[in-house]
């Protein structure tokens, strides 16, 4: 592994960014027959430490500062670049993840690599340490600014609206019995609340409560609806289904009590902890149910700073 890329975020970017995103496309090249006496001028003029050598469009070698110094020290006669260049050139492809470039730089101790197009092996650019650093910084800055703007816009929604009272309503439709899609509403709500700048622990508690309620809905009912009303002081969540109803709500609230079928238990649900979990996550909860008609769970989570507890009550 690369010793100096320890920060997880940078490593992530190293996989996300491709070599082509950070390479220098400004192609400065020489031919094999270029005389060595001209190399110094090219290196100096462009402030680079190595030049790809191109013959009929193909990369045949690299001539670098070290080659030039060796030639000067030897006080040999002028000769062509071809005689002094390194021919076994380590290259990268434009579509490789940046992390490969970083690893190779470290592995070989070089300062630059020629970059080729994978299809035709033609030179597309060069990659340097400075280029990599510049590319990473740019990407970090873009990500940061995008996140800032998104976060700013959403979290100031309440302040930007002019009204005596403002609230946002999010509605999610849930399909029962579809286990693969179960939890999509909870996931969507979680992302939405985050975007609104809600405190992470509040987001977490609301997401867990909605997820448990959504699972119950999927297990027992054919369809239902989740309505979330967010205002500056609280989140109100209403989960309503057209399922069979709960015969004894008090019993259903007891930890470990469950009427879930075996197939649900085998999926890691229906162990009778759901309602209990919801209760631990919300500040207030009401369950009403009519046999044969459906069940309605109403929950409140306070978000106003002074009345908030950030801990999930009790432990499992």
Nearer to other proteins, 9 or 293 (CB): 9
Among 48, 182, 213, 287, binds other proteins (CB under 8 A): 182
Check residue 143 for interaction with other proteins (CB under 8 A): no
Identify which range of 73-81, 83-91, 149-157, 261-269 contacts other proteins by CB under 8 A: 261-269
116 is a contact residue toward other proteins (CB under 8 A): no
Nearer of residues 27 and 267 to other proteins, judged by Cβ: 267
Per CB under 8 A, the list member of 91, 103, 187, 242 interacting with other proteins is: 187
Which of 190, 202, 220, 282 touches other proteins (CB under 8 A)? 190
Residues of this chain, 231-260, that bind other proteins according to CB under 8 A: 255-256, 258
Stretch that binds other proteins, among 6-14, 86-94, 130-138, 290-298 (CB under 8 A): 6-14
Q: How many residues bind other proteins, per CB under 8 A?
A: 38
Q: For every residue of the chain, which 3-state class applies, written as one string?
A: CCCCCCCHHHHHHHHHCEHHHHCECCCCCECCCCEHHHHHHHHHHHCCCEEEEEECCEEEEEEEHHHHHHHHHCCCCCCEHHHHCECCCCCEECCCEHHHHHHHHHHHCCCEEEEECCCCCEEEEEEEHHHHHHHHHHHHHHHHHHHHHHHHHHHCHHHHCCCCCCCEEEEEEEECCCCCCCCHHHHHHHHHHHHCCCCHHHHHHHHHHHHHHHHHHHHHCCEEEEEEEECCCEEEEEEEECCCCCCCHHHHHCCCCCCCCHHHHCCCCCCCCHHHHHHHHCCEEEEEEECCCEEEEEEEEECCHHHCCCCCCCCC
Using CB under 8 A, pick the residue from 23, 51, 64, 186 that binds other proteins. Answer: 186
Among 61, 114, 224, 274, binds other proteins (CB under 8 A): 274
Closest alpha carbon to 98 in 62, 128, 123, 119: 128
Q: Of the two residues 244 and 255, which places its CB atom closer to other proteins in the complex? A: 255
Q: Which one of the spans 18-26, 54-62, 185-193, 219-227 is the region binding other proteins (CB under 8 A)? A: 185-193
Q: Is 261 in the site for other proteins (CB under 8 A)?
A: no
Name the residues that contact other proteins, by CB under 8 A: 6, 8, 11-12, 15, 179-180, 182-183, 186-187, 190, 200-201, 204, 207-208, 211-212, 215, 255-256, 258, 262, 265-269, 271, 273-274, 276-277, 280, 312, 315-316
């Amino acid at each position: 592994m690369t010793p100096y890329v320890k920060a997880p975020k940078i490593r992530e970017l190293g996989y996300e960014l491709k070599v082509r995103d950070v390479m220098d496309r400004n192609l400065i090249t020489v031919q094999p027959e270029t005389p060595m006496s001209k190399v110094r001028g090219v290196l100096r003029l462009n402030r680079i430490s190595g030049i790809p050598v191109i013959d009929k469009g193909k990369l045949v070698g690299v001539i670098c500062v070290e080659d030039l110094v060796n030639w000067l020290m030897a006080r040999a006669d002028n000769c062509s670049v071809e005689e002094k260049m390194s021919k076994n050139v380590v290259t990268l492809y434009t579509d490789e993840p940046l992390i490969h470039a970083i690893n190779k730089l470290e592995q070989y101790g070089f300062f630059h690599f020629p970059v080729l197009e994978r299809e035709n092996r033609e030179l597309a650019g060069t990659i340097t340490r400075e280029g990599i650093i510049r590319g990473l910084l740019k990407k970090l800055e873009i990500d940061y600014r995008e996140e800032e703007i998104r976060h700013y816009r959403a979290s100031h929604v309440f302040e930007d609206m002019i009204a005596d009272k403002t609230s946002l309503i999010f509605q999610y439709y849930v399909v029962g019995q579809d286990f693969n899609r179960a939890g999509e509403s909870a996931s969507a709500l979680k992302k939405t609340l985050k975007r609104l700048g809600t405190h992470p622990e509040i987001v977490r508690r609301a997401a867990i409560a909605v997820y448990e309620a959504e699972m119950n809905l999927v297990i027992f009912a054919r369809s239902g609806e989740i309505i979330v009303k967010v205002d500056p002081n609280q989140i109100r969540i209403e989960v309503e289904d057209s399922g069979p109803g709960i015969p004894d709500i008090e019993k259903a609230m007891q930890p470990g009590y469950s009427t879930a079928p075996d197939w649900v238990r085998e999926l890691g649900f229906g162990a009778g902890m759901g309602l209990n979990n919801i209760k631990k996550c919300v500040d207030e909860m009401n369950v009403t149910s009519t046999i044969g008609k459906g069940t309605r769970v109403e929950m409140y989570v306070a978000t106003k700073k002074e009345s908030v507890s950030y801990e999930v009550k009790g432990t499992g």
